[in-house]
Amino acid sequence: MDENSTLSPAHTDATASSSATTPPVPSVPPALAPFAGLWRGEGEGAYPTIDDFAYTEEIEFAPSGKPFLAYRSRTWEAGTGRPLHSESGYLRLVAEDEAELLVAQPTGFTEIHRGQIREGIIELSMVALSASPDAKPVHSIRRQLSVRGGDLTYDLWMAHDLTPLTHHLHGHLRRD
């Protein structure tokens, strides 16, 4: 390469970069800070219409520099590593102690939940659930997130087809 050529930012080598070109670490709103980070762990699922199951999971709440965290969750079948589920969205601060979780699922659902943040716990209530014409008949979802030290736990309840709102998932993850 001659001295007149330029490299795009994606093609610069590590030795050419300096701390002057490294973007600053985005700040996180204090109420959301306990949730920020990469979490890995296990979960179990149960529902009246399916067999119980176990899974491994990775959840990331990534700082954005704005009053929200980008959210991503991926799960794999315990033992085999077969991909099971993924979803993504945002955990955003809508008031000093109130958060909104926006979730999109590749199964054809979008969810909007809101809840108060109290002592590292967000009890989320569903505001809206939308489904594509081909999605399964899910009628309601409720979520709870809790951070205690280096542990993230969550629970999810779901109403599906003729089954009323029933506990479906519990996950326990540790900060990576």
57-72: average pLDDT: 96
Q: Phi and psi at residue 18, in whole multiples of 5°?
A: -140, 170
Is 49 annotated as belonging to a binding site? Answer: yes
Residues 128-139: tens digit of each pLDDT: 999 999 999 999
109-117: average pLDDT: 97
Is 66 annotated as belonging to a binding site? Answer: no
Q: Considering just the CA atoms, what is the radius of gyration of the chain in Å?
A: 19
What is the per-residue pLDDT for 11? 37
Structure tokens at 5: 């050529």
Which residues neighbour 58 within 8 Å (Cβ) at sequence distance 6 or greater? 38, 39, 40, 73, 74, 173
Domains observed in the chain: 28-173 (2.40.128.20)
Which residues neighbour 25 within 8 Å (Cβ) at sequence distance 6 or greater? 63
Rounded to whole angstroms, how far apart are CA atoms 78 and 140?
Answer: 27
Q: Phi and psi at residue 35, in whole multiples of 5°?
A: -90, -20
Name the pLDDT band for 6 (thresholds 50, 70, 90): very low
How much of the chain exceeds pLDDT 90, in percent? 82
Residues 82-111: tens digit of each pLDDT: 999 999 999 999 999 999 999 999 999 999
